[in-house]
């Protein structure tokens, strides 16, 4: 596709990125055009009646509008983009990216930062301190995507002209598949854990002991009996818990297509993690061994594998 070919010839910018003083775009805004139309009407009226005060006013206002363009330009020059940090997110959710910038010397007001095609957010740089703003990107499909260009713009001071520059980054961001509850076949009696609170009596694991509640412990595991007796918050620990480990297998899940399966697996990974299970992931061409329970890195590894999954034979 043409867009891709073009992309190959685009140059990428590096952080930290200073506003390119000579390559700022600047154009009138919609209100700017309206003002010029109004000025034209005033001009024609004044010329017709040979009304010199009217001409003075028109020229003064017009000159001010033009001079303000210089102020708009100046407002943007001297800003520097420092860092861009996208966090991985699930498909369909908006991705918030932390963008930090600061201004070298002088106040910068009424900046707007946003991704190309998305809404821009206002930010002011009243002094030299770094400010961070969180523009979002709409994500649609999973996988690794290139960051869209960041647009830094301003309409200071009169809202008549808009100046902006673009930052094109080579960075990519990761989008995990959207988790979707789905049916599966498995020997592991897994579902029971999803209901609220109580352990089914026919559970595989037996209750072993109580330990003090630590933040992050799943809420299903809290001993409400103990709490209701005024003994505080305790988490139930199950015997034989650490022994059980599951492997979430591609073949065990059912879905219309590969994407549905990936979504399903993603949901399972999340649930397993939340319930402190030890789990592994098996995809065609990939096998991730079960890692430690509650290991965020392991979760990330699995989700990344799901995000980047390519059907054998699928090209780039």
Partner 1 sequence: MPDCAGALQAARGGGMRDFPVHKKYELILALVVGISGHIFNLPVWVTLLCFSGWGFLFVAEKRGWPLPHRYILWVFACAAFAYVILKAGRRFDNDDGVILLCLMACLKPFEIKTHRDSMVTIFLAYFMVVSGLFFSATFIMTIHMIVAIILITGILVRVNQVEMRFRRSIRLATALTFQAIPLAVLLFVIFPRLPDSLWSVPTPNRAETGFSTTLSPGSVSEIVKSRAIAFRAKFRTTVPGYDKRYWRGIVFQRFNGTEWKVHHWTPRSSGGHDVTDRHDYILLREDTSSRWIFALDTPVMSPSEAILFADNTLADDKKNRRRKRFDLTSGEIQYNRALAAWERVSLRLPETGNEKTRKLAEAMFNQSESVEAYAEEILELFRDGGFTYSLKPPKLSGNIVDDFIFETKEGYCEHYASAFTFMMRAAGVPARIIGGYLGGEANPYGDYLIVRQSDAHAWAEIWVKNRGWVRYDPTGVVSPERLEGRNDVGADQSEAVDTAATNRGRFADRIMNQIRLGWDAVNYFWDVRVLSYTMDDQNRLFGRIGINMTHLKGRLILLGGSLAVVMFILGGFYLYYRYLRGRDTDPAKRYYMQFVRKLEKNGIPHHTWTGPMRYAEEAVTARPDLRKEINGITRLYVLIRYGNPAEPESLLKELQRLVSRFSTG
Is the Cβ–Cβ distance between 96 and 103 less than 8 Å? Answer: no
Single out the segment in contact with partner 1 by CB under 8 A; choices: 22-30, 182-190, 201-209, 272-280: 22-30
Closer to partner 1 by CB, 132 or 245: give it.
Answer: 132
Say if CB 169 and CB 137 are below 8 A apart.
Answer: no
Strand order in the sheet with 278-283: 245-249, 278-283, 286-288
Per rule CB under 8 A, is residue 139 in the interface with partner 1? Answer: yes
Length of the chain: 316
Q: Which of the stretches 96-104, 140-148, 223-231, 292-300 binds partner 1 when contact is defined by CB under 8 A? A: 140-148
Among 90, 115, 173, 234, binds partner 1 (CB under 8 A): 115
- Distance (Å, whole) CA 169 – CA 17: 10
Give me the least distance between CB of 257 and partner 1, in Å please. Answer: 12
Q: Is 244 in the site for partner 1 (CB under 8 A)?
A: no
Count CB atoms within 10 A of the CB of residue 103: 24
Closer residue to partner 1 (CB): 38 or 130: 38
Q: Per CB under 8 A, does 141 bind partner 1?
A: yes
Least distance between partner 1 and beta carbon 15 (Å): 17
**Count of alpha carbons within 13 Å of 152, Cβ hemisphere only?**
35
Q: How many CB atoms lie within 10 A of CB 280?
A: 18
Rounded to 5 degrees, φ, ψ at 118 are -120, 175
Task: Pick between residue 68 and residue 131 the one whose CB is nearest to partner 1.
Answer: 68
Q: Which residues in the 142-181 window bind partner 1 by CB under 8 A? A: 145, 148-149, 151, 153, 155-159, 162, 164, 166, 168
Strands annotated E in 116-171: 120-125, 131-133, 136-138, 143-146, 150-154, 161-167
Q: Which range touches partner 1 (CB under 8 A), out of 78-86, 139-147, 193-201, 264-272?
A: 139-147
Residues in 27-86 that interact with partner 1 by CB under 8 A: 27-31, 33-36, 38, 42, 44-64, 66-68, 71
First to last CA, the chain: 13
- The least distance separating partner 1 from the CB of residue 199, rounded to whole angstroms, comes to 36
Closer residue to partner 1, CB minimum distance, 61 or 244:
61
Among 82, 96, 106, 110, binds partner 1 (CB under 8 A): 110
| Nearest-angstrom CA–CA distance, 147 and 116 | 10
């Amino acid at each position: 596709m043409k867009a891709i070919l073009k992309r190959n010839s685009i140059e990428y910018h590096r952080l930290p990125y200073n506003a390119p003083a000579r390559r700022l775009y600047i154009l009138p805004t919609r209100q700017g055009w309206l003002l010029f139309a109004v000025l034209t009407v005033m001009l024609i009226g004044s010329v017709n009646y040979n009304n010199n005060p009217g001409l003075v006013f028109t020229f003064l206002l017009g000159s001010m509008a033009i001079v303000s363009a210089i102020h708009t330009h100046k407002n943007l020059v001297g800003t520097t983009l420092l860092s861009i940090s996208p966090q991985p997110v699930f498909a369909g959710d908006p991705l918030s990216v932390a963008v930090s910038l600061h201004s070298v010397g002088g106040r910068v007001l009424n900046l707007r930062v946003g991704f190309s095609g998305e809404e821009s957010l206002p930010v002011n740089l009243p002094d030299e301190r770094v400010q961070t703003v969180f523009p979002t990107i709409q994500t649609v499909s999973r996988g690794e995507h290139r960051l869209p260009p960041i647009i830094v713009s301003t309409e200071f001071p009169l809202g008549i002209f808009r100046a902006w520059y673009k930052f094109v980054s080579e960075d990519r961001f990761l989008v995990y598949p959207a988790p979707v509850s789905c049916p599966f076949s498995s020997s592991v009696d897994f579902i029971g854990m999803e209901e609220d609170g109580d352990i089914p009596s026919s559970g595989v694991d037996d209750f072993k002991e109580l330990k003090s509640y630590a933040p992050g412990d799943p809420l299903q595991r809290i001993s409400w009996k103990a709490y209701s007796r005024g003994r505080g918050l305790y988490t139930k620990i199950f015997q034989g818990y650490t022994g059980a480990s599951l492997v979430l297998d591609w073949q065990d899940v059912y879905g219309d297509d590969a994407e549905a399966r990936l979504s399903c697996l993603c949901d399972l990974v999340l649930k397993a993690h939340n319930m402190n299970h030890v789990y592994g992931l098996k995809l065609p061409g990939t096998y991730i061994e079960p890692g430690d329970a509650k290991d965020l890195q392991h979760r990330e590894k699995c989700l990344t594998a799901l995000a980047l999954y390519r059907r054998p034979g699928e090209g780039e």
